[in-house]
Amino acid sequence: MGCILKAPDGRVKGVVVFTTQERDRVILKDRKLQDEIYSLKNNWVVGLHHNWHDYNFVYNSLFDFSLAGEEDLKEVNGKMILLIPMDACNFVPDSFRPSGNEKFWDILYIARAVSFKRIPEFFKCVRSLFDDGHRYRVLFICPIPPFDLNLRSIRHTFSSIRKVYDRMFSEEEKNIFNLLTINYRYPFPFDIETLAYFYRSSRIFVHFSDIEKRCRVAAYAWSSGIPVVGMDCVGSILPSNLRVEPYFYNVHKYSEFPNQIITALEDNSKNTDNFDKVRRIVAAVHTKQELIKRLENLFFKMNLPFGLHGFSLSHLDIRLGRHHGIGKGPNTVLPSLSSFVKMLNELELLNDIIFNYSDPEKEIEKRSCLK
């Protein structure tokens, strides 16, 4: 969504970031809105948060810089783009921390019921583990997309998930393979503290997508001090020297998942490695200062003065990826993008909001609804 990272401060510009969803679904279809965003540039540096990797990226001067992984953008015309190689997954809240408590679940997977999460392959893997006598406790938390034709998500929804689960697993096996299908508050049915509890209570995390990069749910795992089993794309959050065991157990094809899960669980039971190295990449307690350094470098490259005041860096794991008026639920903010852009011109009000509220966009939403 339109996310305020820094308010304007005298002669120092502020920083606001929009998502690629907002760019494609709203901004590029509205010439007037584009002009309004251009007019902001007297007081704002405008960024673009990439919610998906883009190997056919086309530079647009409306956006001064991009937030994305270094491996996730390829500009089709070879133009140099200003890049901050961070995104929502680099700002995991403090609730996701290593725990010395007794673990209850062996395997945790959290994935929406959409096709690219490869849930059938996950079920087949658990079936294989059970058939080979590995009676692991498994927790699968699966938010179900709402029926929304405007989002056109229904075509990609794994709607038969419970039927497949019931067919593939016995009642006895369901005692140790817990499937939570949740059809409310999509895509974030739980608050952060509850979600973090599931991570701290699990030994390893698995992710079965073969195309999704920089996965927030995997970042939550690393910040919680538990290893991740997944394909190359899942490990892309980490620098190459950390995409190794005991942090990341790489899988090249689906038939390798069972053995890598067994290895990860065996290593986890005897491993004393701490996860400080990977936490420095994904945990907000470390990465907020890194973002400030990178913004300072960005301003230097743009020949702009920089100041250390007016930052709003709380809840960036959620705020950076939310959208204005697209979809429903906790991932959406209600005011139109145009209303939000107009609010960015009210600098005195914005400074008050940013100083007093940890989620300024939600406060802007509240005040807009009262008008």
CB 317 within 8 A of CB 359: no
At 256, list the tokens: 């390798």
**Pair 148, 154: CB distance under 8 Å:** yes
Q: How far apart are CA 38 and CA 62, in angstroms?
A: 6
Task: Give φ, ψ of 225 to 5 degrees.
Answer: 80, 25
∠ CA(26), CA(31), CA(35), 5° rounding? 105
Q: CATH assignment of 105-281?
A: 3.40.50.2000
C-alpha span between 170 and 295 (Å, rounded): 53
pLDDT at 37: 95
**From residue 48, how far is each of 51, 206, 227, 290 by CA, in Å?**
9, 29, 30, 18
Q: What tokens does 261 get?
A: 């899960």
Residue 371 has a pLDDT of: 54
Distances (CA, A) of 98 to 108, 225, 316: 15, 5, 20
For residue 170 the two structure tokens come to 């016995």
Strand partners, 126: none
The whole-number pLDDT of residue 295 equals 98
Distance CA 117, CA 141 (A): 12
Gap between the Cα atoms of 306 and 199, Å rounded: 38
Strands (E), 221-366: 228-230, 248-250, 323-324, 332-333
Give the integer Cα–Cα distance in Å for 269 and 272. 9
Structure tokens that stand for 200 in this block: 């701290």
Q: What is the pLDDT of residue 149?
A: 47
pLDDT at 135: 97
Helix (H) or strand (E) holding 108: strand 105-110
371's CB contacts (< 8 A; 6+ apart) are: none
DSSP codes joined into one string, 28-74: GG-HHHHHHHHHGGGTEEEEEE-SS-EEEE---TT-SEEES-TTSEE
What's 325's DSSP letter? S
Low-confidence ranges of the chain (pLDDT < 50): 149, 151, 153-155
- Domain limits, the chain: 3-91+283-370, 105-281
Residue 13: what pLDDT?
A: 96
pLDDT at 363: 85
Question: CB under 8 Å to 116, separation ≥6 — which residues?
Answer: 156, 209, 211, 212
* pLDDT at residue number 250: 98
Name which of 231, 265, 259, 233 is nearest 246 in CA terms.
Answer: 265
| Buried/exposed code over 315-351 (b: 16+ C-beta within 10 A; e: otherwise) | bbbbbbbbbbbbbeeebebebebbbbbebbeeeeebb
Q: What pLDDT does residue 160 have?
A: 87
